[in-house]
């Protein structure tokens, strides 16, 4: 439930004042403090997924794995870019500026990137996913397709065009 906590913001249902959901209530009121335990749990879990995606990307990019099914390898790489983009997008929508950790390096000291840099990285990952993912999947599949990547790109461009960046050129890209 913690992963979706930002989706409940403003609903006034999940965080009734008489309940024990103070951490959720901060999200509901869109005023999240650094001490919020749900935020730390979510932050760490999302960056673990990003680390796993980075491991895969670093392991397969530019390497011929001699996979007997190169289409499968390409699809799985596309899914990895898709997942990383979704995770960065999730954090960006909650926190705005976030560190863009793009490599597996235990000694790196991440810095907060600008929102434009974050949007550009998410766009880059979604474009990489779109070019690698199949055009369709089976009905009800949990796997993304190139259409899934395009849908998230449209959503990204709508966010980019809105507050706080207000880059109106992104509306045409969303369309």
Ordered DSSP codes for 72-139: HHHHHHHHHHHHHHHHHHHHHHHHSS-----S--TT----PPPHHHHHHHHHHHHHHHHHHS-S---T
Asked if 74 and 132 count as a contact pair (C-beta separation under 8 A), the reply is: yes
Q: What percent of the chain has pLDDT over 70?
A: 89
C-alpha span between 73 and 134 (Å, rounded): 12
**What local confidence, expressed as pLDDT, does residue 147 receive?**
94
The closest of 69, 62, 6, 70 to 39, measured between CA atoms, is 6
Q: Is the pTM of this model over 0.75?
A: yes
C-alpha span between 122 and 114 (Å, rounded): 13
pLDDT band at 144 (very low <50, low <70, confident <90, very high): very high
**What local confidence, expressed as pLDDT, does residue 167 receive?**
95
**What local confidence, expressed as pLDDT, does residue 142 receive?**
87
**What local confidence, expressed as pLDDT, does residue 60 receive?**
86
Q: What is the DSSP letter of 11?
A: -
Q: What is the pLDDT of residues 72-97, one digit of tens each?
A: 889 999 999 999 999 999 999 888 89
The lowest-confidence range among 21-30, 36-45, 118-127 is 21-30
Whether pLDDT at 53 is above 90: yes
The closest of 123, 98, 110, 105 to 42, measured between CA atoms, is 98
C-alpha span between 124 and 52 (Å, rounded): 18
SS3 173: helix
- Between 137 and 92, the more confident residue is 92
C-alpha span between 165 and 51 (Å, rounded): 28
Asked if 78 and 133 count as a contact pair (C-beta separation under 8 A), the reply is: yes
């Amino acid at each position: 439930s913690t992963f979706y906590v930002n989706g409940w913001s403003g609903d006034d249902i999940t965080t009734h004042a008489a309940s024990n959901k103070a951490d959720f209530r901060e999200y509901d009121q869109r005023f999240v403090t650094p001490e919020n335990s749900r935020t730390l749990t979510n932050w760490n879990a999302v960056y673990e997924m990003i680390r796993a995606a980075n491991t895969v990307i670093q392991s397969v990019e530019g390497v011929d794995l001699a996979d007997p099914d190169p289409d499968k390898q390409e699809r799985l790489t596309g899914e990895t870019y898709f997942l990383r983009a979704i995770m960065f997008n999730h954090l960006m929508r909650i926190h705005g500026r976030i560190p863009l950790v793009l490599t597996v390096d235990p000694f790196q000291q991440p810095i907060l990137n600008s929102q434009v840099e974050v949007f550009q990285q998410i766009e880059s990952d979604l474009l990489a996913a779109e070019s690698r993912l199949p055009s369709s999947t089976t009905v009800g599949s949990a796997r993304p397709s190139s259409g899934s990547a395009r849908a998230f790109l449209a959503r990204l461009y709508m966010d980019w065009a809105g507050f706080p960046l207000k880059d109106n050129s992104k509306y045409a890209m969303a369309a």
